Amino acid sequence: MATPNDLQFQEFEEAANLLSADPGAPTLSMSASNDPAATAGTPAAGEDVRLDLSEDEAAQEESSELLGGQKSAGGFWTFEYYQSLFNVDTVQVLDRVKGSLMPLPGRNFVKHYLRNNPDLYGPFWICVTLVFSVAISGNLSTFLSSLGDPSYHHRPQFHRVTIAAVVIFLYAWLVPIGLWAFLTWRQGTERQVGGYSFLETVCVYGYSLFIYIPTSILWIISYEWLRWTLIVVAMVISGSVLVLTFWPVVRDDTRVTAVATVVTIVVLHTLLAIGCKLYFFQTAEHTPPAATIAPPIHPTPITAH
């Protein structure tokens, strides 16, 4: 039978073998120290060990907010509230623009691109760019189509910028407001109907208008078949973003209400595109100059003297 001394020696021998196999392994000394300075910070036996992790938790919470793109903001009357709506970087904006140009079935724009962090930076500048692209391209198209007409005198139509701004910004704000209010009302009436926030609805509509910026520039080419082809392609791409985003919300409603909602969204979107094309890109009609008819020449009678 092994004595306690033999067992203790065997434990030391095993520890020596482990240290020889891994010299860099950390070791922990269990020997008691009589130095009061060494044991001053050591808690007494039976006491709970408590670590102050408040600073680490605060730092971790702050980093998670930064990674998630959400920051706490005050009320809507404060500057910090509106500052948070424009707190996006270039990568996020480009990713959302790419998502609006390539709508795919089963890929919800709100769930895959906004990720509970809607912004107004992208929609605002998309609307501003679209206003100037439509107005300037419309003026340039009118000028090019009437270039060979000697009776045409080009005058810049600056009022088109104002009209484009009113139409586009009213559409980008009033239609989302009406849609959000309707979905909120249906959500209270039908429990199974979901919904998006107001900012998410505005953000989807703003990014869906991006396809019309290159389309309006290509409308300068004065071929009606090309213009109508471009407008159909743009309406299909832009309308698909809206349908694929809002159909999952309204499909659990009654069939009539769901279909009527989607049809209304598509019709209003179509009216905006066709209205901009017909007003800003009218085909110039060349009226030939009126032919000048020379007055008849009456022979002078010769009187005999």
pLDDT confidence band for 77 (50 / 70 / 90): low
Q: What percent of the chain has pLDDT over 70?
A: 62
Domain count within the chain: 1
- Is 294 inside any structural domain? no
pLDDT confidence band for 222 (50 / 70 / 90): confident
- Is 18 inside any structural domain? no
Q: Which residues contact 184 (CB under 8 A, 6 or more apart)?
A: 195
- Is 61 inside any structural domain? no
- Is 227 inside any structural domain? yes
Residue-range definition of the domain harbouring residue 215: 84-98+106-146+155-285
CB-CB neighbours of 218 under 10 Å? 14
Indicate whether 284 pLDDT > 70. no
- The 10s digit of each residue's pLDDT in 110-149 is 888 887 888 889 999 999 999 999 999 988 888 787 776 6
- Is 304 inside any structural domain? no
CA torsion 64→70→72→77, rounded to 10°? 170
- Is 5 inside any structural domain? no
Question: What is residue 240's predicted lDDT score, i.e. its pLDDT?
Answer: 93
Indicate whether 95 pLDDT > 80. yes
Question: What is residue 245's predicted lDDT score, i.e. its pLDDT?
Answer: 92
Indicate whether 161 pLDDT > 50. yes
Mean pLDDT, rounded, for 204-217: 94
CA dist., res. 155 & res. 167, Å (int): 23
- Is 217 inside any structural domain? yes
Indicate whether 207 pLDDT > 70. yes
Amino acid at 79: F
